[in-house]
């Protein structure tokens, strides 16, 4: 059973966008976990769960835009 779970889990390498370092994992193309940390503010660490890839992508885009605006 554990091998079936591992077979359906895809974890991508760390990704750096803006001031964030992100790690994305997808389970059976239905469940997405995003782990992120801000490179300059340790209080901005998060772990978020999404039910699909589109929600995760929208969250990441919003997060990066908000961080860019806050930095100005």
Per residue in 10-26, pLDDT (tens digit) is 999 999 998 999 999 99
Supply the pTM of this predicted model: 0.83
Segment 29-50 mean pLDDT: 93
- Tell me how far apart the alpha carbons of residues 21 and 3 are, in angstroms, rounded to a whole number: 29
> Quick one: how far is CA 37 from the chain centroid?
9
Residue of 68, 65, 63 whose CA lies nearest to 45: 63
Cα(37)–Cα(41) distance, rounded to whole angstroms?
8
Q: What are phi and psi of 14, to 5 degrees?
A: -55, 145
Contact 32, 56 (CB under 8 A): yes
Residue-averaged pLDDT of the chain: 89
């Amino acid at each position: 059973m554990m091998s079936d779970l591992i077979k359906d889990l895809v974890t991508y390498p760390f990704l750096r966008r803006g001031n964030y370092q992100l790690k994305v994992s997808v389970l059976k193309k239905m469940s997405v976990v995003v782990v992120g940390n801000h490179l300059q503010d340790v209080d901005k660490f998060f772990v978020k769960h999404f039910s699909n890839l589109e929600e995760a992508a929208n969250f990441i885009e919003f997060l990066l835009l908000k961080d860019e605006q806050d930095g100005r």
